Amino acid sequence: MSVNKTILSGALALAFGAGLVVAPSIAHAQAPLTVKFVQQRGLLYLPIDMMVSGGILQQEATKLGLGKVEATVVTLSGPGPVTDALLSGAADYGTAALPSLLTLWDKTHGTANEVKAVGTVANGAMVLYTINPNVKTIKDFTDKDRIAVPSVRISFNAMMLEMAAEKEWGDPHKLDHLTVGLGHPDAVVALSAGYGQASITAHIAVQPFTDRGLKLPGAHVIADSREVFGGPLTQITLLATKQTKDKNPLLFKAVANALEESIKVANADKRAAAVLWKDANKASESVEELTALLSDPGFAFTAEPHRIAFFAAFLNRIGSLKSKVGDWKELFWETAHHQKGD
């Protein structure tokens, strides 16, 4: 394990352990099971907060006779730290966009530490916007521009830009040199310095950071992922290693069941979901603003995988994915195989 991964594992261990002091157990009492989640920031991850803060994971665990479950969530800045936490064992489950799932599956399938998706979490639009008044389309970017993405080359946001470049020039990597790795909150803060002063000029964002960014002076939309991808596409999945699955199959089933139930609950009452997410993330938006974002037709919490093969083929074309995906179920644990997907 690298020094960085060792530091990450230690930091996560401290974060997960904070506040989880358990009172002395009575005789014969069973120690609580623990479940550790890692995720990035954004409304797309709301079902995970609902599983934990909303108590749905505990409800599903109780149905299966598992007793007390101590679940914790740590928020990280990008897909790299999330996947590192999973592979190092510092976390049991991690939310990741479709490119991360495909990349991890490609590297690990058939190994003892195989990574697959427990299920899908959400579809949501990514939006490329800029504060540069001279940029109206991606063709207008120059070497003076810098485009913020969560992680260069490997994040879904970066790959959206690559797919747009492939359509425009036949070269998916034409704008790669303009991208810089920056978390969504930091990107909005950086852009707030204004055109000519900000260290970046554009940002590929997800909600609620898209809405925050578009409120900045001069901010305007350049591209939308729904146009780039040509339709709904699974964005966020919940990942786990084979070791996590095999360690406690019944707990694994409880997590899978809780994910599906959390999606149903979030869709049934979006205002209540907005309240929960605002409280869990200490978000600055009002409940009304968050409810409006969740009601956007392009925003969907769904357990159904969408256009997996379509995106896998793109990664094959650009050389990011070596293995061919014959069926979307190859990428998912059996917990998702009852879904209708493509």
State pLDDT tens for residues 181-224.
999 999 999 999 999 999 999 999 988 899 999 999 999 999 99
Residue 161 has pLDDT above 90, yes or no: yes
Give the whole-angstrom CA distance, residue 220 versus residue 228: 17
pLDDT in tens, 323-334: 999 899 999 999
Which among 212, 210, 190 is positioned nearest to 201, based on CA atoms?
Answer: 190
Structure tokens at 280: 């869990």
Amino acid present at 1 = M
pLDDT tens per residue across span 244-264:
999 999 999 999 999 999 999
**What order do you get walking across the sheet with 33-39 strand by strand?**
69-75, 33-39, 93-97, 236-241, 115-123, 300-301
pLDDT of residue 29: 53
Q: 0.85 exceeded by the pTM? A: no
Burial 284-309 (b: 16+ CB within 10 A, else e): ebeeebbbebbeeeebbbbbbbbbbe
What are the boundaries of each domain within the chain?
31-123+235-336, 127-229
The model's pLDDT over 21-62, given as tens digits with 9 standing for 90+, comes to: 444 434 345 688 999 999 988 899 999 999 999 999 999 999
Are 31-123+235-336 and 127-229 equal in CATH topology? yes
3-class SS at 203? strand
Pairing of strands 147-149, 179-181: parallel
Residue 236 has pLDDT above 70, yes or no: yes
Q: Which of these ranges, 10-14, 18-22, 90-94, 111-115, has the smallest mean pLDDT?
A: 18-22
| C-beta pairs of 334-339 under 8 Å, 24+ apart in sequence | 335/118, 335/119, 335/252, 335/253, 335/256, 336/117, 336/118, 336/119, 336/120, 336/256, 336/303, 336/305, 339/119, 339/120, 339/303, 339/304, 339/305
d(CA 182, CA 37): 22
Q: Name the 3-class secondary structure at 70.
A: strand
Average pLDDT, the chain: 89
pLDDT of residue 42: 86
The dotted CATH code for 31-123+235-336 is 3.40.190.10
Beta bridge partners of 116: 240
Cross-strand partners of 130: 202, 220
CATH tag, 127-229: 3.40.190.10
